[in-house]
Chain A
Amino acid sequence: NAGVTQTPKFQVLKTGQSMTLQCAQDMNHEYMSWYRQDPGMGLRLIHYSVGAGITDQGEVPNGYNVSRSTTEDFPLRLLSAAPSQTSVYFCASSYETGELFFGEGSRLTVL
């Protein structure tokens, strides 16, 4: 019963490097999303997808890219990492009622 799986759990990058955070869910949920969590700011939506082949921007999309080629996978790409992207990233999926199922998070540090 895996639910939402995120990898890696920890990552350190240098400014300007690129990387991809992986997210996979096995619940056949159409909706998937990426949030970032920063102290005192709660969770802010980066990008989301309502189904394979469909993505859209959330509240803080700049510097991030996503794609959704399958129902199961929703990777988040950082094209050129900046220190401001140091954060904890959460992937979540949902069926139609809006109740989110979260992964355990990926802690990213950009030096």
Chain B
Amino acid sequence: AQSVTQPDIHITVSEGASLELRCNYSYGATPYLFWYVQSPGQGLQLLLKYFSGDTLVQGIKGFEAEFKRSQSSFNLRKPSVHWSDAAEYFCAVGASDDYKLSFGAGTTVTVRA
């Protein structure tokens, strides 16, 4: 069975500083990987996805993520955070032949001025 671990429950970062959110997955074959963001009181919005090919993927809002098969990781990064990036971030894993996704527990990001 596939699973996702997000080791950091809560991260606080200063506005303008860089951000990295960790994600480790467990899956037997080549995974489909996703990062979603949830603003307070809202649904989840897709930031980026990895299916195959280039292991560095670019997403919306200036985010990028790198797939590292050897480490079973798919970490999310942003070079300079904005106050509007304060939200909860979820990593998810799926498969090419299955619509279902498994989500991590989420990381809450707080941005301080």
Contacts and interface: CB of A to CB of B under 8 A. Distances in A.
Contacts of B51: 97
Nearest to A4: B43
A58 B42 CA distance: 23
A92 to B, nearest CB: 8
A58 to B, nearest CB: 7
A53 interface: no
Contact of B43 (A48, A90, A97): A90
Dominant secondary structure at the A interface: strand
Interface stretch (A65-73, A79-87, A102-110): A102-110
Interface in B60-113: 90, 94-96, 98-106
A91 to B, nearest CB: 9
A99 B49 contact: yes
Q: Is the interface of B mostly helix, strand, loop or mixed?
A: strand
Contacts, number: 60
B25 interface: no
Contacts of A100: 34, 36, 44, 46, 101
Q: Chain B: interface residue count, which band?
A: 20 to 34
Top 4 nearest A-B pairs by Cβ distance?
A102-B43, A42-B103, A31-B99, A43-B103
19 contacts: A33-B99, A40-B105, A42-B103, A42-B104, A45-B100, A45-B102, A50-B99, A58-B100, A94-B99, A97-B51, A98-B34, A98-B95, A98-B96, A98-B98, A98-B99, A98-B101, A103-B43, A105-B42, A105-B43
Interface of B: 4, 6, 9, 32, 34, 36, 41-46, 49, 51, 90, 94-96, 98-106
